[in-house]
Chain A
Amino acid sequence: MDFIASARDVRFSYSDSDRYAVDGASLFIEEGSYVALLGANGSGKSTMAKLLDVIEVQDEGEIKVFGIDTKDDDRFWDIRRNVGCVFQNPDNQIVGTTVEEDVAFGPENIGVKNPELSERVYKALKYVGLYDRKESQTAYLSGGQKQKLAIAGVLAMNPKFLILDEATAMLDPVSRDEFLSLAEKLVREKKISILTITHDMTEASRTDKVLIMDKGRITMEGDPKDILNDVPKMLEAGLDSPIYSKLLWELKNVTGIDYPIDNARSIISSLRYLSTRFTGVRIKAPQIKKTDRETLISVKDLSYRYEDKGPYAIKDIDLEIKKGELLALVGRSGCGKTTLITHLNGIIRPQGKGRIEYRFGDGTFTTSSKRDIKKIRQKVGLVFQYPEYQLFEDTVYKDVAYGPKKMGFKGEELDKAVREAVKIVGLDESVLDQSPFELSGGQQRRVAMAGVISMKPEVLVLDEPAAGLDPKGRREMFKTINDLKESGTTVVLVTHYMDEAYEHADRICTMKDGMIMGVEEPCRMFEDKEELRRMEIRSPYLRRFLEILSIRLGLDPVSRNNLLKAQSIRQAALMIGGADA
């Protein structure tokens, strides 16, 4: 078997660091294969990608790409021009102002001449479906289109090997699916080898081979079915497993009956195993505790457009946010979620007859009144996407104290608020004197959240709080969010991850084209398939799996309905494992 890329005992450290980012890694990628590289944040995955494209050169060890040594100064251009990279942030890899200019940038660099040049550019654009927009400005494309543009820019170089460095991390589920199908099409049709770096286990399960990286080295490698289904090991590595293997694992925890590891290798084998053991079980209805909650915020007749006579960003929004609930807000990118949440703390004021009313403990407030705005900003904390990009003070303490200080907290009260907030987000008090810019990305995110929590808000609005975090980071983030909810904070959560909304939310609000399509309890909202298609919403993976499972187990309609009410894998395992045969 020929290797498209191989690395042996590679070590590398950045010049401004005394730590090895890659520390003894060895990997082999076969020609024409689709390989996933998984690992926690900071495990050295992106650095490995840079080494394979000769953007950095290793300190020790040997890397060969297309059989060429990356240390061969005369030939490394032959590597670079045949390796294509797509990175995470679409904005930071586009050079051209118009779509065609950007796609041409690569081939222009390697001196491809017309007419071949324009042929390559237009062929690549047609392949990714952006040909009609060839003269559009890149700045006005959507996130999904920008990532497709990045792929086109790489395709125009006729690469043999494609590296995707968390290329889908910033995309909504629909765009993500489109992007992944495109990648799979490249492997199949163009025989391009792909190395994809990702935190998405579903994406990883679709590849030929999985590599796990931990602390700068490859710790596991093999068939995705073998690697990913080993739940305890994956959790330990800070990663995650597909739903079917996690369900078997939870069943083992619940019933105490061990299952042979082979049974969790694929959807089919796990279904077969489950149906031999649990066929025809009768599943009881889950206990759902109904809590009547009072309305805390009521949004009425809210419409907003950024320009006079321009299109509506949101239209005729009526929404009640209940005290103490966790409300998830879902919908495709650009559907108006951000516009809606920036209304909630008065950054954008309602236009026309729109009105937002707040019933806090100490009275009723409205954003229409200028006097109430300060109060509302303090009571409704808003954490934007990637909040770590707004840190500015030289110590964590000062940054976290900025908000409450502006809100009039003083002396001991201020100090207490800062220390409490840092504790809530799960950071140690020792970070308080450090510069926020020296912390890791995940810690910075927590500092930024603490900067809002320290204002003691009654409502916390979180826009994709777990974006870009590894699975372990995501789990910890949701623990923090649930803790906040337990302590009485009302949470509004904007997310692209349907499974997380499904598991944690009390109600899910769906938006499309600036309008609210419905507000439902999670277990009720995914019943009508037609409706979901119309709303451009994907069912949670868990629910999709349980639907297949209930058919395989031959459940009676009542049991089936009951099983589909399970909102977490653990709950589903308890229901199946505890049922009467």
Chain B
Amino acid sequence: MLKDISIGRFYRGDSVIHKLDPRLKTILFVLFMVAVFMLENPYAIGCLIVFAVVLQIMAKIPLKVMWNTVKPVLPIVILIFVLNALTIRDGKEIFSWRRILITDTGLKSATLMSLRLLMMIFITSIILTLTTTPLKLSEALEKLFGPLKLIKFPVHEMAMMMSIALRFIPTLIDETDKIMKAQVSRGADYDTGTVLKRLKGYVTVLVPLFVSSFRRADELSTAMDARCYNGGEGRTKLHPLHITLRDIIIFIILSLCAVALVVIEKAL
């Protein structure tokens, strides 16, 4: 059940997106997030969807993997849709029953808002999480935020923490699954009862999960010590980051796409 969640999971491949320098990817990610926030026009959002699909094809990620990535956030998307549809009361009435009023403006805005959120997840996972290993991503952040070291900000440590957190997501998901099965076989029930009762039920999962996370943290730090980890100073890299001409070309094309989306938005 929990194993289907693929947030933070890397999808192995050798597409142009996979090979793109992670620093450039991070910058692209920021650009696109800004663009997505600015879009309101349906045509611009239409273009965005087309663009996202093109990206997916470029990254050679199967639809099924995309679906698993998007699935866990669907409840939030639906919630946003419903809230928008219900709260916006101006525009032409489409449907009304007692105090519920749904208008065309409300429906339109609800659709746009939820599509935008969906596209955010979609693009983030294609550009970053699915095509970049956590270690590469943290390396990119370490480089991009490098100047902050001057003001004694622990850039390397933050990056390391992030990559370990991402590395352990699949392990902890598996572990949660195991603990839940064990407690279910002792009669625990996580699916029925009031919300409060269910939340209380999760204590039986969370306590063991915390205990084991601490144990893991302890063992991992010993293992890292044993492998001579001593902070970022003097570390070398197996595959040092370097930007190729192809990276630059792809970067320019993709950032022009982001700019184009904003231009379409403003022009219409």
Asked if B179 and A389 sit within 8 Å, CB to CB, the answer is: yes
Residue of A nearest to B184 (CB): A347
Asked if B223 and A85 sit within 8 Å, CB to CB, the answer is: yes
Kindly state whether residue B151 has any CB partner on chain A within 8 Å: no
Q: Could you tell me the distance in whole angstroms from the C-beta of B180 to the nearest C-beta in chain A? A: 9
Residues of A within 8 A of B135 (CB): 96-98, 101
Kindly state whether residue B245 has any CB partner on chain A within 8 Å: no
Asked if B228 and A87 sit within 8 Å, CB to CB, the answer is: no
Query: Whole-angstrom distance between the alpha carbons of A403 and B175 in the complex?
Result: 20
Kindly state whether residue A135 has any CB partner on chain B within 8 Å: yes
Kindly state whether residue B183 has any CB partner on chain A within 8 Å: yes
Asked if A101 and B185 sit within 8 Å, CB to CB, the answer is: no
Interface SS of chain B: helix
> Known contacts A390-B179, A390-B183, A403-B187; is A117 also within 8 Å of B227 by CB?
no
Asked if A97 and B167 sit within 8 Å, CB to CB, the answer is: yes
Residue of A nearest to B160 (CB): A95
Residues of B within 8 A of A306 (CB): 3
> Known contacts A96-B167, A391-B208; is A50 also within 8 Å of B222 by CB?
yes
Residue of B nearest to A121 (CB): B238
Asked if A113 and B236 sit within 8 Å, CB to CB, the answer is: yes
Q: Could you tell me the distance in whole angstroms from the C-beta of A58 to the nearest C-beta in chain B? A: 16
Residue of B nearest to A153 (CB): B227
Asked if B12 and A136 sit within 8 Å, CB to CB, the answer is: yes
Asked if A92 and B223 sit within 8 Å, CB to CB, the answer is: yes
As a 0/1 sequence over residues 109 to 141 of chain B, the CB contacts with chain A under 8 angstroms (1 = contact) are 000000000000000000000000111000000
Asked if B238 and A407 sit within 8 Å, CB to CB, the answer is: no
Asked if A384 and B167 sit within 8 Å, CB to CB, the answer is: no
Kindly state whether residue B164 has any CB partner on chain A within 8 Å: yes
Kindly state whether residue B204 has any CB partner on chain A within 8 Å: yes
Kindly state whether residue A55 has any CB partner on chain B within 8 Å: yes
Residues of A within 8 A of B167 (CB): 94-97, 138-139
> Known contacts A93-B219, A451-B186; is A114 also within 8 Å of B240 by CB?
yes
Interface size, chain A (Cβ < 8 Å): 67
Query: Whole-angstrom distance between the alpha carbons of A100 and B184 in the complex?
Result: 38
Query: Which of B3, B167, B238 has the most chain A CB within a 10 Å cutoff?
Result: B238
Asked if B185 and A109 sit within 8 Å, CB to CB, the answer is: no
Kindly state whether residue B45 has any CB partner on chain A within 8 Å: no
> Known contacts A95-B164, A96-B167, A390-B182; is A89 also within 8 Å of B219 by CB?
yes
Interchain CB contact (< 8 A) of B185 among A137, A139, A153, A347: A347
Q: Could you tell me the distance in whole angstroms from the C-beta of B193 to the nearest C-beta in chain A? A: 12
Asked if B235 and A347 sit within 8 Å, CB to CB, the answer is: no
Residues of B within 8 A of A100 (CB): 238
Asked if B227 and A91 sit within 8 Å, CB to CB, the answer is: no
Asked if A406 and B187 sit within 8 Å, CB to CB, the answer is: yes
As a 0/1 sequence over residues 53 to 96 of chain A, the CB contacts with chain B under 8 angstroms (1 = contact) are 10100000000000000000000010011011101010111111
Kindly state whether residue A342 has any CB partner on chain B within 8 Å: yes
Residues of B within 8 A of A452 (CB): 185-186
Kindly state whether residue B229 has any CB partner on chain A within 8 Å: yes
Asked if A91 and B171 sit within 8 Å, CB to CB, the answer is: yes
Asked if B216 and A407 sit within 8 Å, CB to CB, the answer is: no
As a 0/1 sequence over residues 1 to 45 of chain B, the CB contacts with chain A under 8 angstroms (1 = contact) are 001000000101000000000000000000000000000000000
Query: Whole-angstrom distance between the alpha carbons of A218 and B225 in the complex?
Result: 26
Interface residues of A in 393-425 (CB under 8 A from B): 402-403, 405-407
Residue of A nearest to B175 (CB): A389
Query: Which of A55, A92, A387 has the most chain B CB within a 10 Å cutoff?
Result: A92
Asked if B237 and A108 sit within 8 Å, CB to CB, the answer is: yes
> Known contacts A80-B226, A97-B166; is A381 also within 8 Å of B236 by CB?
no
Interchain CB contact (< 8 A) of B133 among A80, A98, A111, A121: A98
Kindly state whether residue B188 has any CB partner on chain A within 8 Å: yes
Kindly state whether residue B181 has any CB partner on chain A within 8 Å: yes
Interface residues of A in 91-131 (CB under 8 A from B): 91-98, 100-101, 104-114, 117-118, 121
Kindly state whether residue A377 has any CB partner on chain B within 8 Å: yes
Kindly state whether residue A20 has any CB partner on chain B within 8 Å: no
Residue of A nearest to B238 (CB): A104
Residues of A within 8 A of B212 (CB): 389
Residues of A within 8 A of B268 (CB): none
Apart from A92-B223, A117-B236, what are 10 other A-B pairs with CB-CB below 8 Å? A80-B225, A85-B226, A95-B224, A101-B135, A121-B238, A157-B228, A377-B184, A391-B208, A402-B204, A452-B185
Task: Give the A-binding residues of B (Cβ under 8 A).
Answer: 3, 10, 12, 133-135, 163-164, 166-167, 170-171, 175, 178-179, 181-189, 203-204, 207-208, 211-212, 215-216, 219-220, 222-230, 234-238, 240
